[in-house]
Amino acid sequence: MTSARIIGTGSYLPERVVTNHELEQLVETSDSWIRERTGIRERRLVGDDQSCGDLGRIAAQRALEAAGCRGEEVDLIVVATCTPDRIFPSTASALQHSLGLRPGGAAFDVSAACSGFIYALSVADRFIRTGGASRALVVGAETMSRIIDWEDRGTCVLFGDGAGAVVLEAGEQPGVLSTHLHSDGRHEPLLYVPWGPGQGYAALESQGGYIRMRGNEVFKVAVNTLTRIVEDTLASAGVDKSQVDWLVPHQANIRIIQATAKKLDLAMDRVVVTVGEHGNTSAASIPIALDTAVRDGRIQRGELLMLEAFGGGFTWGSALVRY
């Protein structure tokens, strides 16, 4: 049976570092408050001359180099982002051209907020399993700083910019074992951006285009939802939680990560945690964390990974992957 296997990872963080101490000058907050509640010490911000696609391109180039393959060998690109460069063409389409990917292959964006990378990975996995692609590039890229109200202390301390990518290849060896995607639009008022171009530009002035979040309520739903999807994912794959080597979670909040690890009975030294260095990079956070752990040698070939994420919408998803 054909499987989609990860053969290369890559990531990129912008150069500009913004520490908690710098945010103390903007809003009423403190380094200790931010660290205690989120685990974040600093975040990266995109340069004025950079776009979401620029971040994604560098991460993708690094993933292709790690995979040892050329762009023209890739026949599918899926980009997960909620901060695309343009309404159209898609960021994926622009990357297909700039990276020298095979012309004529499918290229499109997926928007599922912080769950976006899991959604994109699942779509690419299905393409490969059904013969629709032989090699796929899956990118998570975000410029969250561009939809942040820097006077809102409830959100400006949380988010950052960055990109991560993986290359998938069709083969007989186990790779992506299963993916699980979910959404529930009833929770939209808890975490959303109130404006989009479909509403017209008059609405932008009245509603604003920045993230709005009711943090405490999001936290409660996220913890309950993620622990449940971890259980469901393992049960559907017939895998015991003791068999999981690494948890690679969405990097939103250290307390949410710790709660999920506890549900898996997984010690924190078997959990990839990068939230302290880049904050919540939305759809980019899982591939950044994955690439970090692959490159520093923690994650080894043959190990079993649990990837999971929760985002605005609400959306949530998981992937069980044999690396």
What domain range is 63 assigned to? Answer: 3-172
- Residue 236 confidence (pLDDT): 87
The count of structural domains within the chain is 2
Tell whether 134 and 223 lie within a shared domain.
Answer: no
* Average pLDDT of span 288-308: 98
Domain shared by 204 and 161, yes or no = no
Q: Which of 82, 180, 187, 250 is catalytic?
A: 250
Residue 20 annotated to the active site: no
| Domain's final residue, options 153, 172, 191 | 172
Residue 69 annotated as catalytic: no
**Hey, what are 231's tokens?**
């259980």
3-state secondary structure of 206: helix
20, 82, 180, 280: which is the annotated catalytic residue? 280
Mean of pLDDT values over 95-100: 96
Answer yes or no: is pLDDT of 1 > 80.
no
What pLDDT is attached to residue 55? 98
Give 39-94 as a DSSP string.
---EEEE--TT--HHHHHHHHHHHHHHHHT--GGG--EEEEE-SS-S-SSS-HHHH
Which pLDDT belongs to residue 232? 87
Residue 177's nearest CA partner among 243, 225, 242 is 243
Query: What rounded mean pLDDT belongs to the chain?
Result: 96
CA distances from residue 187 to 148, 198, 311 in whole angstroms, order as listed = 20, 21, 11
For residue range 120-150, list pLDDT tens digits in order.
999 999 999 999 999 999 999 999 999 999 9
For 163-215, write each residue's pLDDT tens digit: 999 999 999 999 999 999 999 999 999 999 999 999 998 888 899 999 999 99
Task: Give the end of a domain, one of 144, 172, 200.
Answer: 172
The verdict on whether 253 is a catalytic residue reads no
- pLDDT for 203: 87
Looking at the structure, do residues 196 and 131 belong to the same domain, yes or no?
Answer: no
Q: Are 180 and 231 in contact (CB under 8 A)?
A: no
Question: Is there a single domain that holds both residue 151 and residue 235?
Answer: no
Catalytic member of 52, 82, 114, 156: 114
- d(CA 131, CA 106) in angstroms, rounded, equals 13
Of 172, 190, 217, at which residue does a domain stop? 172
Flag whether the pTM goes above 0.95: yes
Question: Domain containing 234 — which CATH number?
Answer: 3.40.47.10
